[in-house]
Structure 1
């Protein structure tokens, strides 16, 4: 990131929201959020547990550099599981699901992120407003560490991915009935952006 020696996480976060079309508050106040699996939007409630975790999750995108596309989200899920989510239970559930799915669709990338996470530490449990004043480069240097994988990492990844696949299956079963709502909302958003007279 250009100028990250000088830019704070607060300023970088505003740019991240704008670049990703998340709105001024990152969508934190929304009642529902969409998780897109490729072109398919799966809406799910923006629970208090998710709201508590997603603020820190977005900061992790800034310090790790993982994108917000589908594979990027699966990758950062593995990084967060590797580094640990503390008492952020919604993060554990969502990230285990992402890591399990990621182990199926991008196994090498997701495993590398998990190992990177094992040598890193997250923002979970820190004082959010204080963290926002840190410089991006300083926050990255203090929290993100690359290291070589160990046999223990491989075993933990395999176990975590297996648990994650089970959690993802339950998650998918709960989300599948909401797919029509997601498709309807996608159609409505696209229709709203069409020029008048075009249908």
Structure 2
């Protein structure tokens, strides 16, 4: 869900998936109770819209959030476009997932076409938690790098766009100073 904040950036692979998920949720102001809440909110054009949270969404949103953690895409409009492209190419398993990710892909292509296309290309050979079949709690107990490897994601994730979370480069003083 798009938010106005600094991107989190890549999460170190030595963390457990659970710890990484908790860091992601806290950074974005999300909670796990939202997974089963009767409604969810979505900011659009300066307004926050509320929608029903159907059972189909409730079943997949926790895995979707872990996908954000694994690959490193942000929760802004461009990041949702990237994660949608990645999930579509790596594998959806329900009509709801295909539908919502197609909408996200179209959003991404309209706000960040190059990043969305790069995400699509980066997904080649990968798989999703929707398709892998690993038990959710077992996945949470794994190290992030191990789950990335299992799903065909590079050890450091897929983020290639610069993020504000990265320290700015600085110049070394010249020898004559």
Q: TM-score range by the shorter chain?
A: 0.7 to 0.9
Retained in 1: the 8 A contact 2:18–2:141? yes
The structure carrying a bigger helix percent of its residues is 1
Retained in 1: the 8 A contact 2:11–2:20? no
RMSD of aligned C-alpha atoms?
Answer: 1.8
Distance 1:104 1:55, change over 3 A: same
Query: Following the alignment from structure 1 to structure 2, what is the Cα–Cα distance between the partners of residues 113 and 56?
Result: 18
Q: How does 1:1-199 map to 2 (within 5 A)?
A: 1=10, 3-5=12-14, 7-23=15-31, 25=32, 27-37=34-44, 39-86=46-93, 88-125=94-131, 126=133, 127-145=135-153
Unpaired segments ≥5 residues, structure 2: 1-9, 155-177
Q: TM-score, normalised by structure 1?
A: 0.66
Distance 1:139 1:96, change over 3 A: same
Unpaired segments ≥5 residues, structure 1: 147-199
SS at the partner of 2:126? coil
Distance 1:38 1:84, change over 3 A: farther
What's the offset of the Cα at 1:89?
A: 2.6
Deviations 1:108-135 (A, max 9, x none): 1101111212321111142211111111
Moved more, 27-36 or 50-59: 27-36
SS at the partner of 1:81? helix
Query: Following the alignment from structure 2 to structure 1, what is the Cα–Cα distance between the partners of residues 42 and 107?
Result: 13
Query: Following the alignment from structure 2 to structure 1, what is the Cα–Cα distance between the partners of residues 12 and 121?
Result: 28
Distance 1:119 1:2, change over 3 A: closer
Retained in 1: the 8 A contact 2:79–2:108? no
Q: TM-score, normalised by structure 2?
A: 0.73
What's the offset of the Cα at 1:2?
A: 5.7
Which structure is higher in RCO with an 8 Å CA cutoff and minimum separation 6? 2
